């Protein structure tokens, strides 16, 4: 078994751009790798009904209640629909008021009565670690009037927002969309037309399974200028965190990004297994927890060796990161036993055993490590 080291927990205070010293590492020898989690640990991201979300977006609820609180856990989908619709209705008065303020500000600053719309920035915030942000992303985030942010934008990144800017949560989870994609489009358009500088914050990279292309296309058709600020996609950031090269001479000649989502919301992934079972290709599966058992079986049925190394990474690059390493034949079972939750990234391929964290010490893996 290979030695595994705990990744240090970084406390981020990026307003002052100070780096912190890492904690002492303790070696662990285990198939299931995780950081130390205490009872007080909370998600590094914005969960749908978290206290942090309502505190951050408190300005939206002034017309209804001065101190909004998360609703109680919902037992069924009908209750979730009610919560969503009630939440939107509560926010509308303040959204309309902000639009009026922005329009008045735009008109008062116009010369000759001809003012163009504001700009929209699609900004990728990386996989979770705020220190992976680009300098351009930080500058744009700090200059925004309004920021629409997803669930997988880390809380530390949101601390960079200017005090007078407004934040609006538009995140989505399985079974609960705080805003539909069409509603997000209309919000971006309305505030851009009012002259605001609007930032659309997305985890990872906005154009890699982030629906950024749809938003860009919609806004450009309406005459709105859109600028894309790329982010480090989860595949690159998490693979680097684990010491996994996505391509490697003599081991993997290509890498393929796959979505684990099914268009019909079932347990079968999109139909990619037939042409994805290439032992010389690294597969990276986004949003694949629900469909992994089916995908893994299909990959093996189409010729991918059952002992192909694989890793699943929950909340990658954050202090709460957890990893599960296993061979493909045992992969789904090990993930279920570990109880991994979304967001989890999956990497399948021979390059996984190049990671110093890979626990299966074999002659082949030793040779692969020496060839780097």
Per-residue H/E/C for 60-118 = HHCCCCCCCCCCCCCCCHHHHHHHHHHHHHHHHHHHHHHHHHHHHHHHHCCCCCCCCCC
CATH superfamily assigned to domain 235-354: Tetrapyrrole methylase, C-terminal domain (3.30.950.10)
**98 vs 92, 105, 165, 200, CA distance in Å?**
10, 11, 11, 17
Task: Centre a 10 Å sphere on the Cβ of residue 295 and count the other Cβ atoms it contains.
Answer: 27
Give the pLDDT confidence score for residue 239 in this predicted structure. 98
Q: Phi and psi for 153 in degrees, rounded to 5?
A: -90, 120
Give the pLDDT confidence score for residue 264 in this predicted structure. 62
How far is it, in rounded angstroms, from Cα 346 to Cα 276?
14
Q: Give residue limits of the domains in the chain.
A: 117-232, 235-354
Hey, what are 16's tokens? 């002052």
User: Checking DSSP bridges between strand 166-169 and strand 146-149, what pairing results, if any?
Assistant: parallel
285 Cβ contact partners less than 8 Å away, ≥ 6 residues apart: 258, 259, 260, 269, 292, 295, 345, 346, 347, 348
How far is it, in rounded angstroms, from Cα 327 to Cα 348?
9
Give the pLDDT confidence score for residue 371 in this predicted structure. 32
Give the pLDDT confidence score for residue 60 in this predicted structure. 77
Give the pLDDT confidence score for residue 338 in this predicted structure. 95
Hey, what are 292's tokens? 């992994």
Site of tokens 């000759």? 112
Q: What is the mean pLDDT of the chain?
A: 80
CB-based contact 120:224 (threshold 8 Å): yes
**71 vs 45, 52, 87, 185, 284, CA distance in Å?**
18, 13, 10, 26, 35
Hey, what are 43's tokens? 């998600």
How far is it, in rounded angstroms, from Cα 272 to Cα 40?
40
> Which residues are part of the catalytic machinery?
150, 172, 287
CA 244 to chain centre: 20
Give the pLDDT confidence score for residue 271 in this predicted structure. 56
Give the pLDDT confidence score for residue 39 in this predicted structure. 30
Give the pLDDT confidence score for residue 281 in this predicted structure. 96
Which of these, 99, 148, 94, lies nearest to 121 by C-alpha position?
148
CB-based contact 29:2 (threshold 8 Å): yes
- Predicted TM-score of the model (pTM): 0.79
Which segments within the chain are labelled E, that is strand? 4-5, 27-28, 32-34, 120-124, 146-149, 166-169, 172-173, 176-177, 198-202, 226-229, 254-259, 281-286, 309-314, 322-327, 344-348
CATH of domain 117-232: 3.40.1010.10
CB-based contact 285:260 (threshold 8 Å): yes
How far is it, in rounded angstroms, from Cα 221 to Cα 66?
38
Site of tokens 């090269």? 245
How far is it, in rounded angstroms, from Cα 305 to Cα 210?
31
CA 366 to chain centre: 33
Asked whether the domain spanning 235-354 has the same topology as the one spanning 117-232, the reply is no
Give the pLDDT confidence score for residue 108 in this predicted structure. 74
Hey, what are 295's tokens? 């995908």
List the chain residues with pLDDT less than 50. 1-41, 66, 363-372
């Amino acid at each position: 078994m290979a030695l595994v080291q705990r990744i240090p927990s970084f406390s981020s205070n990026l307003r002052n751009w100070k780096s912190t010293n890492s904690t002492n590492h303790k070696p662990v020898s285990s198939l299931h790798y995780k950081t130390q989690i205490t009872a007080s640990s909370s998600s590094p991201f914005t969960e749908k009904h978290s206290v942090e979300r309502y505190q951050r977006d408190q300005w939206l609820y002034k017309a209804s209640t001065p101190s909004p609180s998360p609703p109680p856990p919902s037992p069924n989908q009908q209750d979730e629909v009610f919560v969503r619709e009630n939440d939107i209705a509560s926010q509308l008065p303040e959204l309309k008021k902000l639009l009026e303020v922005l329009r008045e500000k735009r008109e008062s600053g116009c010369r000759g009565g001809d003012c163009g719309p504001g700009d929209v920035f699609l900004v990728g915030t990386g996989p979770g670690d705020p220190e992976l942000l680009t300098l351009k992303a930080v500058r744009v985030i700090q200059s925004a009037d309004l920021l629409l942010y997803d669930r997988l934008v880390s809380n530390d990144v949101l601390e960079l927002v200017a005090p007078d800017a407004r934040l609006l949560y538009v995140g989505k989870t399985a079974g609960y969309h705080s805003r539909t994609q069409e509603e997000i489009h209309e919000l971006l358009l309305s505030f851009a037309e009012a002259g605001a500088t609007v930032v659309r914050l997305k985890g990872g990279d906005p154009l890699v399974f982030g629906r950024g292309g749809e938003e860009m296309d919609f806004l450009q058709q309406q005459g709105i200028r859109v600028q894309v600020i790329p982010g480090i996609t989860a595949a690159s950031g998490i693979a680097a965190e684990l010491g996994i090269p996505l391509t490697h001479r003599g081991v993997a000649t290509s890498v393929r990004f796959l979505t684990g989502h099914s268009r019909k919301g079932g347990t079968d992934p999109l139909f990619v297994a037939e042409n994805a079972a290439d032992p010389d290709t690294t597969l990276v599966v986004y949003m694949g927890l629900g469909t992994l058992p089916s995908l893994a079986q299909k990959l093996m049925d189409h010729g991918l060796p059952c002992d192909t190394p694989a890793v699943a990474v929950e909340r990658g690059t954050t202090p709460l990161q957890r990893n599960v390493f296993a061979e493909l034949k045992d992969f789904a079972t090990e993930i279920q036993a570990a109880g991994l939750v979304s967001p989890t990234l999956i990497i399948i391929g021979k390059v996984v055993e190049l990671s110093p964290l890979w626990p299966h010490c074999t002659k082949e893996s030793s040779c692969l490590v020496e060839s780097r």
